[in-house]
Amino acid sequence: MSSVLQNSQKTLRKTNMRLTWWRKWWRAGRVLRLLLWTIWAIYRERRRAVHAHTHGQDDVQPNTDVLVEVLTAFRKTALELGVLMIKLGQFLSTRADLLPERALLVLSSLQDEVPPEPFDHVISVIESELGKPVDQIFTHLERKCVAAASLGQVHKGILATTGETVAVKIQRPYIDELVRMDLSTLKFVIRIINRVFNTSDFIDLPGFYREFRRTTYEEINYIGELANAKRFKEMFSNDPTIYIPRVHEEYVSRRVLVLEWIDGIKINDYPALDALRIDRLKVASRTVEAYFHQFFDEGFFHADPHPGNIFVKKGSLPDNPIITFIDFGMVGTVSKSMKRSLKDIFLGFLLRDSHTIVQALVRLGFIGEGANLITIERGMALMLEQYYGMTLGQIREMDYAEIARDIERLLYDQPFQIPAQFAFTGRAVSTLAGVSTGLAPDFNFVEVALPYGRKFLGLDADGIGQTAQQILGQLLDVGKTLLTLPHSLDQLISKIDAGQLEVQVGVGSLSRRSLRRRRRGNNDLAAPRQRGNGFSLAFVFALSLAGGIYLLNNLHQPIEGWFCLVLAALTVLALVFRG
């Protein structure tokens, strides 16, 4: 190592020469061309398919061959340029909502193809950041890196003070300057695209840029990663099935991070797991349970769960695998407002209320301005009718490709997008689903999620009262709407009789039974009106009575309970007088 030490400063001076002004302009030009070509191709193919769908040509899809050609060029150039282009390619490889499967496969191997930086660079960074010669910090530091990513790489070493084996994480050279350059170019491209084209109906480019910039700067600040690792250590301190490595805080700077070395097996190394007879189903279950704890309980999660960041700890018993997470540079959060809207989606599903679901999706940013909410609500209602009440066995046998096509048909020509704050959440979930299915094909994602979902919804012993009130509140809103419905219908029918309102219905959209019903004439309108009014009031009476009894006897809430009983009494009076 001594010869390397003598030449480290000399090597550093040579690498300084790499970022000359003409190289900066050359890089910016290549990044600009690459981004414009890629975003334009994705936008053009999507718009072509949407235009065809609006003209009834539902079989038209984006040209996969064109997208494969573009993304193959993107992958090649990203590997040459490195840094953010690799990271951006990895992000695109998870966007099944933007790209067909064959195009996604072109970018899927980017994570494993990143070339490492020379060992001389590693030496120079460690010495400049920690202020000591390398041989005073480590008795041994392996020249060959054990992992290389877009923003940094990891080497195995032994601490001189304790003899402990550690993982040494070092940033790539001139990362700050390269990140600034690439982000500036990306922002410039997004401005051009937004001035010329309207991409808001499938991706929020400004929002994506802000989220991408935030996560990138978090990843290149190892002091922030130290805080994340300590928080994860605390989160799982009472869970013996999950292990978080310890960080050696005395050897941490903005560009160097030293952690406890983890001997283990990658969770996608199936032959090694099988050789030790590790229960792969339990590995999948514990990994997914750990993520549900992060999502639902903590609202703070590891946002980069690729197989290189999750291990089965060495020494684990076959039937008791210990799951270890590493690399805490990219994390995500679930805010209180996001939790409220997600809860509304779940409650809307329980009540089969498509309006509540769609409104929550609007608040979360999934449905943009200009969307036909009535059409989306009708489509959502049909999907609820089709999938509601399915057993876990039926869910296991579902054709997820067909479900995806149903969703695509519902939303493809609507301004539906993945909000920026969910872009990396979706990446984590999709990666986790693929990993768990690969570990154990019989793994049931839903069965593991149910206990956490019940707790998240407040359907456990602690939260059932609050959730019952929320459901009752939504039902009462429906009841109040039904109470006003007869009067609204009276006004509508009066306007029609007076000729103040013209009703036009396409014959093609009506069944023969509906047409026959129309021909009966205006004399038959009174009976269905009375039946409809009576049904509405009877429904509100039953709902109010049940709610009042439940609130008084089970939840001991007299104000809300008596309100419901009074509402039930009023509906009885209304029924009597209408009779």
Answer whether residue 263 shows pLDDT above 80: yes
Q: Rounded to an integer, what distance in angstroms lies between the CA atom of residue 414 and that of residue 206?
A: 19
The bridge status of strand 300-302 relative to strand 331-333 is antiparallel
Place of tokens 């549900």: 292
In contact, 238 and 290? CB cutoff 8 Å: no
Convert the pLDDT of each residue in 15-53 to its tens digit.
343 567 777 888 888 889 888 899 888 888 888 877 777
Q: Rounded to an integer, what distance in angstroms lies between the CA atom of residue 402 and that of residue 406?
A: 6
Residue 148 phi/psi, 5° resolution?
-130, 130
Residue 486: predicted pLDDT: 46
Convert the pLDDT of each residue in 285-333 to its tens digit.
999 899 988 988 898 999 888 888 999 999 999 999 999 999 999 888 8
Residue type, 187: K
Q: Rounded to an integer, what distance in angstroms lies between the CA atom of residue 545 and that of residue 537?
A: 12
What average pLDDT does range 488-514 have in this prediction? 42
In contact, 187 and 209? CB cutoff 8 Å: yes
Residue 43: closest CA among 198, 176, 182, 149? 198
Neighbour tally for 341: CB within 10 Å: 18
Mean pLDDT highest for which of 21-25, 233-237, 390-394? Answer: 233-237
Convert the pLDDT of each residue in 455-466 to its tens digit.
766 655 454 455
With bands split at pLDDT 50, 70 and 90, how would you rate the model's confidence at 561? low
Neighbour tally for 439: CB within 10 Å: 23
Mean pLDDT highest for which of 62-76, 484-498, 533-547? Answer: 62-76
Neighbour tally for 183: CB within 10 Å: 16
Share of residues in the chain with pLDDT > 90 (%): 27
In contact, 334 and 295? CB cutoff 8 Å: yes
With bands split at pLDDT 50, 70 and 90, how would you rate the model's confidence at 169? very high
Q: Rounded to an integer, what distance in angstroms lies between the CA atom of residue 386 and that of residue 98?
A: 25
Residue 260: predicted pLDDT: 96
Residue type, 119: F
What six digits make up the tokens of 409? Answer: 């048909």
CB proximity list for 456: less than 8 A, separation 6 or greater: 296, 339, 342, 343, 346
Average predicted confidence (pLDDT) for the chain: 76
Residue 277: predicted pLDDT: 95
Give 5-58 as a DSSP string: HHHHHHHHHHHHGGG-HHHHHHHHHHHHHHHHHHHHHHHHHHHHHHHHHHTT-T
Q: Rounded to an integer, what distance in angstroms lies between the CA atom of residue 365 and that of residue 359?
A: 10
Residue 139: predicted pLDDT: 97
The bridge status of strand 323-325 relative to strand 310-313 is antiparallel
Q: Rounded to an integer, what distance in angstroms lies between the CA atom of residue 175 and that of residue 171?
A: 7
Residue 418: closest CA among 134, 186, 202, 132? 202
Residue 445: closest CA among 281, 236, 273? 281
What six digits make up the tokens of 177? Answer: 């300057």
Residue 137: predicted pLDDT: 96
CB proximity list for 145: less than 8 A, separation 6 or greater: 116, 122, 153, 154, 155
User: Who has greater pLDDT, 249 or 105?
Assistant: 249
What six digits make up the tokens of 36? Answer: 């414009």
Residue 114: predicted pLDDT: 82
Query: Collapsing DSSP states into helix, strand and coil, what is residue 331?
Result: strand
Q: Rounded to an integer, what distance in angstroms lies between the CA atom of residue 326 and that of residue 261?
A: 10
In contact, 495 and 501? CB cutoff 8 Å: yes
Element (H, E) at 273: helix 270-275
Convert the pLDDT of each residue in 405-461 to its tens digit.
566 566 656 666 767 667 667 667 777 777 887 888 878 776 777 777 667 666 554
Query: Collapsing DSSP states into helix, strand and coil, what is residue 169?
Result: strand
Query: Collapsing DSSP states into helix, strand and coil, what is residue 184?
Result: helix
The bridge status of strand 300-302 relative to strand 323-325 is unpaired
What average pLDDT does range 198-207 have in this prediction? 74
Give 367-399 as a DSSP string: B-TT--HHHHHHHHHHHHHHHTT--HHHHHT--
Residue type, 113: E
Q: Rounded to an integer, what distance in angstroms lies between the CA atom of residue 537 and that of residue 482?
A: 7
What average pLDDT does range 506-527 have in this prediction? 39
Neighbour tally for 392: CB within 10 Å: 11
Q: Is 548 left (phi over 0), alpha (psi -120 to 50) or beta?
A: alpha
In contact, 117 and 175? CB cutoff 8 Å: no
Q: Rounded to an integer, what distance in angstroms lies between the CA atom of residue 415 and that of residue 369?
A: 7
What six digits make up the tokens of 542? Answer: 């039953």
With bands split at pLDDT 50, 70 and 90, how would you rate the model's confidence at 212? confident
The full length of the chain comes to: 579
- Residue 288's Cβ-side half-sphere holds a number of Cα atoms within 13 Å equal to 29
Query: Collapsing DSSP states into helix, strand and coil, what is residue 165?
Result: strand
Residue 15: predicted pLDDT: 39
Neighbour tally for 524: CB within 10 Å: 12
Residue 130: predicted pLDDT: 95
Catalytic residues: 304
In contact, 410 and 354? CB cutoff 8 Å: no
Mean pLDDT lowest among 91-95, 261-265, 570-574:
570-574
pTM, two decimals, is: 0.68
What average pLDDT does range 101-130 have in this prediction? 86
| Three-state SS letters, 225-265 | HHHHHHHHHHHCCCCCCEECCCECHHHCCCCEEEEECCCEE
| Every domain of the chain and the residues it spans | 2-114, 336-422+446-457, 464-578
With bands split at pLDDT 50, 70 and 90, how would you rate the model's confidence at 284? very high
